[in-house]
Amino acid sequence: MTVGKEEYISEIGAMVRMNGTVGFSLRGEVTVEFLTENNPLARRIFSLIKALYAYDALIMVKKNPRLGYHNNYLVAINDVNTAQKFLQDVGLRVSTETFAVEDRFPQKLTNSELRRRAYLRGAFLGAGTVIDPNKGYHLEMVCRDALHSKRLKRLLEKENLESKISLRGENRVVYLKEAEKISDFLAMLGAHKEVLYFENVRVLKDMRAHVNRLVNCENANMDKALNTGLKQVEWIKWIEEKKGLESLPSDMRALCVLRLKNKDISLKELGEKANPPLSKSAIRHRFSKIEKLAKELGYKD
């Protein structure tokens, strides 16, 4: 068997565990069915079965009234020999006496990087979704049993993708929330167009967030400068009323006049307008003296 076919078995082996069913015909012969609303997935399953077993699976289209009569696609292996060979390849054993399905999960399904990634691809195609990155970052795969969800989590860990598991009804959901991890997962599957779209949206969102932070910071600085300037103007006017600015040393008087003309600029900008220019610390030091004098003259905050 070629490497390509081994990967196909790993991929469809995951699919059958995510959304496949094993049953019996009226004659008691084993059958395998896949049911999906996704037309490309139905075609992918058909193609994999054809490539592996040279068998044309049955495809039926059903209308589901619970889903607004949308199409449901049934892909079935009704040939007993093909179905048995398929189940043997993917590690599922069916009892003809109890009709129970035993998952023996052969290690060969994921014993190499290529087969492991093929298995994860099948799991995602079988029952996975990723939401539009414009709305948030979330990728998930819905498993029908706890054992398989833990298996997927371990496989993801081997790809350095840390996932979590949550309970949703009777199902287990394996999910990724970090944008970088989701992008890496899609790239691993070979979904390069989706990765490009995802990354473009992610960059734009990060850029908008950065701009918003800068704007918020700038607004905060402007508010702080305005509040500081208005407070200093109050001190100056109090001194002017109680004692007159002429009583101040020339350097402090010049600073008071400059502030009255420029109520809303920062200390740094005020220092740049001084003649000669003053540092921010020098401006702050002089205003501390002005504040002290205003309070000595009865000013209260």
pLDDT per residue over 229-272, tens digit each? Answer: 888 888 888 888 888 888 888 888 888 888 888 888 888 888 89
Bridge partners, residue 171, by sequence: 168
pLDDT of 223: 62
For the chain, the average pLDDT equals 84
pLDDT of 149: 94
Q: pLDDT tens digits, residue range 2-25?
A: 448 999 999 999 999 999 999 887
Q: pLDDT tens digits, residue range 74-125?
A: 999 999 999 999 999 999 988 767 777 888 888 899 999 999 999 999 999 8
d(C-alpha 75, C-alpha 61), whole Å = 9
In single-letter form, the type of residue at position 288 comes to S
d(C-alpha 23, C-alpha 80), whole Å = 11
Mean of the pLDDT values across residues 62-73? 73
H or E element, residue 69: none
Query: What residue ranges define each of the domains in the chain, with the CATH number in brackets?
Result: 3-188 (3.10.28.10), 211-296 (no CATH)
> Which value, to the nearest 10 degrees, does the dihedral of the CA atoms of residues 13, 191, 127, 113 take?
30
Mean of the pLDDT values across residues 113-139? 87
Neighbours of 223 (CB within 10 A): 10
pLDDT of 4: 80
Q: pLDDT tens digits, residue range 196-207?
A: 565 565 555 555
